Amino acid sequence: MSLDILHADIDSFFASVEQIEHPSYRNQPVIVGADPMNGNGRGVVSTASYEARKFGIRSAMPISKAFSICPNGIFVKPDMSLYSHYSERVMNIFKKYSPSVEQISIDEAFIDVSGVSKLFGDAVSIAQKIRDDVKKETSLTVSVGIASNKACAKIASDINKPDGLTVCPLGMERDFISDLDITRLWGVGKKYADKLRNIGINTIGEIANRRCEEIVSMFGSNGFRIWMLSNGIDGDSVSESDEIKSISKEYTFQEDTDSAELLTSTIRSMADYVTRDARRHLLRYKTVSIKLRFSDFTTITRSETLSEYSDDYITAKKSAEKLLRANASFRKIRLIGLSISNFSDDVQNTLFEDTEKRFKTDLLIDKLKLKYGEKIGRCGV
Ligand SMILES: [Mg+2]
C-alpha cells in the first residue's frame, strides 16, 4: 500500500468556466442552472460560484430559491458543449502524468500515479504539477486529494476546497475520515443518511464502530461496502474501462405539458446529446431508458434493451419515442429524461458496413457541430 491515488476535482466547474469566458462575471455571484424567470423559474441550480455560495446557494437548490436569496446574482444557462471542451483540456493534462486516469464525471477523475514516480516525483509533487498546469493552461483551479485508496482520496479532495491539496496520511485512513459527517462517505446519500441518523449515527467513525452485520442488515450488499469504506478500506482500483455506466440528460419543462410535439422534440435533442457523448467516448449502448415525472410528481422509468449494441442517434431516438408513446398516457409531464447504458467499449464490434458508415457520419456531424455550433441539422429525422 502506498500513497498513489489522486482524486482531482475542478472547483465550481461550470461557474468558473463562465467567469473565465466573461471577465465581467469575475468576483461576482454566478449561478449556472435553470432560468430563474424572476423567481418563477423551475428546475435547479447546477453550479454556484464561490461568491454565490457565500449567500448560501448550493447545487441542486431550486432556482426560484436561489433567486430569492440573491436576486442580483448573474444567472446563466449551462453551455454543455463549452464545458465539455474545457473538461477535455483538463483531462488531457491529467493524462500527461499517468496512463491510468478514470474520469468519473465531467469535472473529476481518479489518477493512479503508482509507477510514474521516477518520471514525475512523488504523489504530492505530481498533484502540485497538475494543479499548476491546469491553472496555467485553462485558468481553472483543481482541488486534489491524495490517499492510498479511491474513497479516501475523494474525501480528501473535498476537505480544502477550493484550490486545495490534501493528503490522507498512509496508515491513518480510518482516523482521517472518522470525525467527518456520514454524507461525505461515497455512496451515502440523503436516504441512507436519514436511516443512519435515526439510529444515532452521524459521523463516519460511528459507522466503523458498529458491527459490520448491523450495517449489512440495514443496506444489504451496499452495507458491506459502506462499512468497509467507513474503516478507510477501499479495494477498488483506478480503471478506465468502467468509467461510465450510463449517459443521461433530463429536462424540467417551464410548464407541465402533454404536447406530443414538444415531448418528441425534447426527447430527440436528448437522443442527439447522449449518443454524441457516447461516440466521443467510443461507447456502444444496448439499453435505452426514459424517465417521466408527471405533474403529481409520480415518476416512472421505462427501458428497452436492444438486440444488439448501437452507437447511433436514430436507434436511440426511435427507442425513446416508442417508450414515450407507450407511457405518456395523456398525462401532463413535468420532467423528461433519457439515458443510454449497458455499454460495450469494443468499437471493433462494428459488424456491418452500413453501421460503420452511420457511425462515421455521426462522428462527422459531431465535429461540424463542435465547429459551427448546434444549428447543423440532420436531414430527414
Ligand atoms: Mg467539481
Q: What is the pLDDT of residues 57-97, one digit of tens each?
A: 999 899 999 999 999 999 999 988 899 899 999 999 999 99
Asked if residue 136 and residue 101 are part of one domain, the reply reads yes
214 classed as catalytic: no
Distance 196 CA to ligand 1 centre (A): 26
Distance 171 CA to ligand 1 centre (A): 27
| Cα-based distances in Å from 289 to 156, 181, 256, 299, 362 | 34, 34, 21, 13, 21
**Residue 209 is part of a domain; what is its CATH number?**
1.10.150.20
Asked if residue 182 and residue 199 are part of one domain, the reply reads yes
Asked if residue 260 and residue 368 are part of one domain, the reply reads yes
Element (H, E) at 140: none
In-domain check, residue 235: no
Asked if residue 219 and residue 169 are part of one domain, the reply reads no
Distance 13 CA to ligand 1 centre (A): 5
Say how many CA atoms lie within 13 Å of 193 toward its Cβ: 14
d(CA 356, CA 349): 10
- Please tell me whether the overall predicted TM-score, pTM, comes out greater than 0.75 for this model: no
Q: What are phi and psi of 255, to 5 degrees?
A: -130, 145
Asked if residue 197 and residue 160 are part of one domain, the reply reads no
Of 62, 79, 96, the residue at which a domain comes to its end is: 79
Catalytic residue among 18, 51, 102, 108: 108
In-domain check, residue 161: yes
Grid cell 406530443 is found at 260
Asked if residue 334 and residue 281 are part of one domain, the reply reads yes
Asked if residue 63 and residue 161 are part of one domain, the reply reads no
Number of structural domains the chain divides into? 4
Which pLDDT belongs to residue 13?
96
In-domain check, residue 90: yes
Distance 159 CA to ligand 1 centre (A): 12
Neighbours of 232 (CB within 10 A): 24
Q: What are phi and psi of 10, to 5 degrees?
A: -70, 135
Q: What is the pLDDT of residues 197-226, one digit of tens each?
A: 999 999 999 999 999 999 999 998 788 889
Distance 144 CA to ligand 1 centre (A): 11
Grid cell 423551475 is found at 42
d(CA 90, CA 241): 19
Q: What is the pLDDT of residues 119-167, one digit of tens each?
A: 999 999 999 999 999 999 999 999 999 999 999 999 999 999 999 999 9
Of 152, 173, 194, the residue at which a domain comes to its end is: 173
In-domain check, residue 240: no
**Residue 44 is part of a domain; what is its CATH number?**
3.40.1170.60
**Residue 365's domain spans which residues?**
246-372
